[in-house]
Structure 1
Amino acid sequence: ELEKLVGKYSNSDIVTEFESLSNLQPVREIELSNLTLFPLFNENYYQGKNMQILKDSIQTNGITIPLFVYQYENKNYIVNGVKRFLVAKNQNMKTLPCIDVQGSIEDVIIYVTNNMLVNKDNGLVQGYAFKVLMDKFQMSEKEIQRLTALSHGQVANLLRLLKLTSAVKEYIIEGKLSTAKARLLITFSSKDQIKIAKKMFNLSVRECENLVRKIRLGDYLVPEEEYFTYKREGDQIVVRCSDDSLLTSIENFLKELEK
C-alpha cells in the first residue's frame, strides 16, 4: 500500500511507485467538460508565462501524455496533468486522453503532494495544497510534515506565502521570484513587498537575505516609487497600480459604472 512508503522512501520513489501501477491501466478519452482539478490544485497559480513552451507543443502535437484521473465524489478529478488540462481548456479541445488511477483518497493525496515536490512546483502551488489539506481534509501541520518529509519551518513558510500581495504572487508564478526569496518578504507591508521584490530579481538568495537584514536595521531605505499611474491609449485607459486595496477600490468603482 502506498501509504506505507511514507517515511520509508523518498518523494520521487513514492511518485514512481504510484505512476508505475497507474500506467498499467488503459487509456480512455474523457470530455474536457467532465474533468475537474483535484481540490489540492489552484489553477491561478499555474498561469505563468513559463507555460508557453507547453502551449506551443500541444498546439503542434496535441496531448501526447495521458492525464491521471481519480474518480472521487462522483467527479473525474485530475491528479496529474494540470498544465496540460489548462492549456487544452484554453485551446477549446473537446476530449483528453486519461488514465484512471486506483487506490484510496489517502493514496492520491500522498501522490499529489509528493509529486509537487518532485516537480519543484512553485511555493504557491505547494502552500495552497497544504492549506486545503488542513481545511478540507482536517490534516495538521505535523501530518503534512510526515506526508512530505518537510520540516516544520518549510511547511510554515509555504503556507505563509499565500498571504503575500497579489503582485508578488505573480512574480512567483512567472518565475521571477523563487520561494526562498519570496518568504523573506512575508512580514513587510504590501507596498514594500513589491518594491523589495523588484530589487531581488537579479540577486542571489544570500544577497536577498543581506538586503532584508539591512532594511530591518535601517541601513538601507526602500526607495519610494509611483504605485499608481494611468494613461489613455486610444479608446482605452491603462491603469497600473501596485497597491491591492486601491486597485480593488478602482475595480469596484468601474463595476458600479457598468450598472
Structure 2
Amino acid sequence: MAEETRSRLGRGLAALMGDVGAESSTSDRAPKSQRRVPIEHVKANPRNPRRIFADAELEELSQSIRERGIIQPIVVRSSKSEPNTFEIIAGERRWRASQRAGLHEVPIVVLEVTDAEALELAIIENIQRADLNPLEEAAGYQALANQYSHSQDDIATIVGKSRSHVANTLRLLKLPDAVKSYINEGKLTAGHARALINQSDPESIARDIVEKGLNVRQVEKLRQDDAKAAKKPKSTAKARKDANIAALEKQLSDALGLVVEITDKGRAGGVLGIRYRTLEQLDDVIAKLQRG
C-alpha cells in the first residue's frame, strides 16, 4: 500500500472522505453521495473487529433512533457477491439499533476500498471511538498480520499507535481463556490485561483483581514482586532443614493440599506457614482447623 494511502487511512474515515473532496471525481476511492437504501440491503462485515455489542447500549441507541432517526450515515462498500447489497465498513452498531427501531431504510455513504483497507478502516474507527475491547483490538491486528501480511510496524503506522503498543496488544491473545472472559465482560481494563502478561499465574491474579478491585499499579507491583522472587537465590537453609521437620511439612502439605513451611527457631519457637492463592483455599483451611 502506498505511504500516502496509509497516511490517509491512519487518520480515519472522516479524513479519507474529507480528502476525497479535493481529489478528482475519477478517484477509485471517492465516496458516492449519501443516499438511503432498504435496511435489508445492508449486511454486517464478517471481518469487523468488534464482536461484542452490549444489549443495553443497543436498546438506548435504538430509542434515540426512533425519536430522531440516524444522524450519521453508515459507511459501506459494494458487496462483491450480491448485487445491490452493501457491506458495512463502519456503523454496525447503528445498523443493529436501526433494525431494533424498526427502520425500513438507512442512510449510507459508499466507499470503494479493498478487503485490507476495509479492515484497516474498521479497526481505526473503532479505536478512535474507543469501541473495541483490548481482545477485539488484538484480534484485528492479528487479522491484518495473518490475512494481509502486515508487519507490526505496518500496523502501527496504519492505526497511529506505537509498535510496542501493537506488540503488547497482540500478546493479550496468549492469555488463558478465563482471563479473556473477564476482559470481554469488561471486568478487566486494557491496563490490567497488559499487566497480566508474563505473570506466573495470570488466571489467579485476574480473579483477585475482580474480587478485590485491584488497580493497575497494584497488579504491576505483584508482577515486580514475582520477578524479584524468581531472581532471589534459593536459600541453603532448606537444604540443612531437619529431616523430621521436612517430613512433617510434607505430611501437612498432603493433608491440606497446599504448600506448608515450618521454620524451627529452636528455643525461640518457630513459624508455621500455609500458602494459599484464593479466598476459597483460605476458607477450606479454616474449616479443616475448626473441625480439629
Q: Which TM class, normalised by the smaller chain length? A: 0.5 to 0.7
CA contact (8 A) 1:68 1:80 kept: yes
2:128 is the counterpart of 1:118? yes
Counterpart in the other structure of 1:79 = 89
Structure 2 SS opposite 1:6: helix
In structure 2, how many angstroms separate the alpha carbons of the residues matched to 1:127 and 1:136? 14
Alpha-carbon distance, 1:69 to partner? 1.4
2:207 maps to a residue whose letter is K
Q: Which residues of structure 1 form unaligned runs of 5+? A: 228-259
2:198 is the counterpart of 1:191? no
Counterpart in the other structure of 2:53 = 47
Q: After alignment, is 58-67 or 128-137 more displaced?
A: 58-67
2:57 is the counterpart of 1:57? no
CA contact (8 A) 1:42 1:125 kept: yes
Alpha-carbon distance, 1:136 to partner? 2.0
CA contact (8 A) 2:77 2:111 kept: yes
In structure 2, how many angstroms separate the alpha carbons of the residues matched to 1:82 and 1:33? 13
CA 1:61/1:145 → structure 2, altered by over 3 Å: closer, same or farther? closer
- Larger RCO of the pair (alpha carbons < 8 Å, separation 6+): 1
2:121 is the counterpart of 1:67? no
TM-score (norm 2): 0.60
1:191 maps to a residue whose letter is E
Counterpart in the other structure of 1:246 = none
* Deviations 1:141-177 (CA, angstroms, capped at 9, x unpaired): 2321221232332112211222333443333334332
CA 1:14/1:56 → structure 2, altered by over 3 Å: closer, same or farther? closer
In structure 2, how many angstroms separate the alpha carbons of the residues matched to 1:32 and 1:171? 34
Structure 2 SS opposite 1:136: helix
Structure 1 SS opposite 2:225: helix
Counterpart in the other structure of 2:112 = 103
Counterpart in the other structure of 1:233 = none
Counterpart in the other structure of 2:179 = 168
- The match for 1:179 among 171, 190, 204 is 190
- The match for 2:14 among 6, 16, 19 is 16
In structure 1, how many angstroms separate the alpha carbons of the residues matched to 2:35 and 2:2? 22
Counterpart in the other structure of 1:26 = 34
CA 1:122/1:34 → structure 2, altered by over 3 Å: closer, same or farther? same
2:277 is the counterpart of 1:223? yes
In structure 1, how many angstroms separate the alpha carbons of the residues matched to 2:31 and 2:139? 27
* Deviations 1:82-126 (CA, angstroms, capped at 9, x unpaired): 32344456x485745141422331543442232132112321221
Alpha-carbon distance, 1:35 to partner? 0.6
Counterpart in the other structure of 1:252 = none
In structure 2, how many angstroms separate the alpha carbons of the residues matched to 1:161 and 1:32? 36
Structure 1 SS opposite 2:44: strand
* Deviations 1:46-67 (CA, angstroms, capped at 9, x unpaired): 234xx52442231353351332
CA contact (8 A) 1:3 1:107 kept: no
The structure whose Rg is larger is 2
Percent of aligned positions with the same letter in both sequences? Answer: 20
In structure 2, how many angstroms separate the alpha carbons of the residues matched to 1:33 and 1:222? 57
- Mapping 1:128-143, distance limit 5 Å: 128-143=139-154
Q: After alignment, is 187-196 or 147-156 more displaced?
A: 187-196
Task: Count matched residues.
Answer: 218
1:17 maps to a residue whose letter is A
CA contact (8 A) 1:69 1:77 kept: yes
Q: After alignment, is 28-37 or 179-188 more displaced?
A: 28-37
Q: What CA RMSD, in Å, does the superposition of the two structures yield over aligned residues?
A: 3.6
2:75 maps to a residue whose letter is F
Q: Which residues of structure 2 form unaligned runs of 5+? A: 21-29, 231-274, 282-292
CA contact (8 A) 1:41 1:129 kept: yes
CA contact (8 A) 1:168 1:193 kept: no
TM-score (norm 1): 0.67
